[in-house]
Amino acid sequence: MDTILIFWNRFVDYAHFVWVYMQTSFLDLLSGYINQDTAGVILVISGIVLVLLIIIIAAFKRSKPHVNSIDMMASLTMLSVINSTPKEASKPENEYAASAAEPDLKTIETNMKALKELYEAGKIKADLYISESRHLYEVAKAIYSG
């Protein structure tokens, strides 16, 4: 217990010394008598104020969230295609309806890019990405060879 009391008394004495030193420096500053001690106190107080200003500015500054550049419309279109349930394929009545039902290579390329973006954004899992990529590849292969 004596050690704590000794430590406390030394701490209080030191704090009192610093307080008296600051008061003396401020009185010297107010009276116009500037010496090394007064300049040191001015520098220390200026540093403390600067650090406080930086902390306040940093607290109020809002950082802009990092956004990956993703074509959201293509991703949403592909996500809706993936999530939709497959419907029964009906036989088209004429050749125009048959060609409209088959996607062209540009559409398949857009769907592949959208699928990749969905996978990279974490919207779909790897197994779905692989199966849909294989399906789109097979459709493109059939169009290209046909």
pLDDT tens for each residue of 100-146: 445 677 888 888 888 888 888 888 888 888 988 898 888 888 887 76
pLDDT at 6: 93
SS3 for the chain is CHHHHHHHHHHHHHHHHHHHHHHHHHHHHHHCCCCHHHHHHHHHHHHHHHHHHHHHHHHHCCCCCCCCCCCHHHHHHHHHHHHCCCCCCCCCCCHHHHHHHCCCHHHHHHHHHHHHHHHHCCCCCHHHHHHHHHHHHHHHHHHHHC
User: What pTM, to 2 d.p., does this model score?
Assistant: 0.34
